[in-house]
Amino acid sequence: MAQQGMISPFEPSLICKVRKDASLEVQPVISYGVSSYGYDLRLSSAEFRIFRHLPGTIVDPKNFNPCNLEPIQLHTDPNGSYFILPAHSYGLGVALEKIEVPGNITVICIGKSTYARCGIIANITPAEATWRGHLTLEFSNSSSTDCRIYANDGVVKLLFLEGEPCAISYDTRQGKYQDQAEIVTLAKVC
């Protein structure tokens, strides 16, 4: 299903090293692509935002104020491109890959152990049957130090659950997060 458009761009193997440039030098990456029972998505370099404290404001999912989120800079060094998630903070990124979930599949997005061992917790996110778009990914840094989150490297794992097609799919009920672009999508209320 992934090769037929469920995941785009699709990597049919688990990638752990990539060619750095036109030279023959290879660079290790945090793995992405097909895994045992899932797929490791990459973080897009398009955008990453962190919550910042604005005195007198409250984050309200029913009346979300985009001013509570601050875009952060993409950095690059010999190890790759990355965003810095400050200690004890929360950030939003977006998946590089676009997914189109078939009607008989539900996807659960969970964190990768490489980041968990650094104190980065990826929020568990579902992608329901017939959902499509670029997932907005949520991360909390539970450590007492700033942490890099690498763009274009694996950042979360998708696990696929197959069943009978559901009676009312995400597309049928016109879910509010359908067709997300490769940008951070803010909280919405129907």
Selecting among 100, 138, 164, 182, the annotated active-site residue is 138
pLDDT at 106: 94
pLDDT at 18: 86
- Reduced DSSP (H G I as helix, E B as strand, rest coil) percent helix, strand, coil of the chain, to 5: 5, 45, 50
DSSP-based three-state secondary structure for 4: helix
pTM, two decimal places? 0.89
Which parts of the chain sit beneath pLDDT 50? none
CB 38 within 8 A of CB 105: no
Is residue 138 among the annotated active site residues? Answer: yes
Q: For the chain, what is the radius of gyration of the CA atoms?
A: 17
Q: Which is the CATH superfamily of the domain at 2-162?
A: Deoxyuridine triphosphatase (dUTPase) (2.70.40.10)
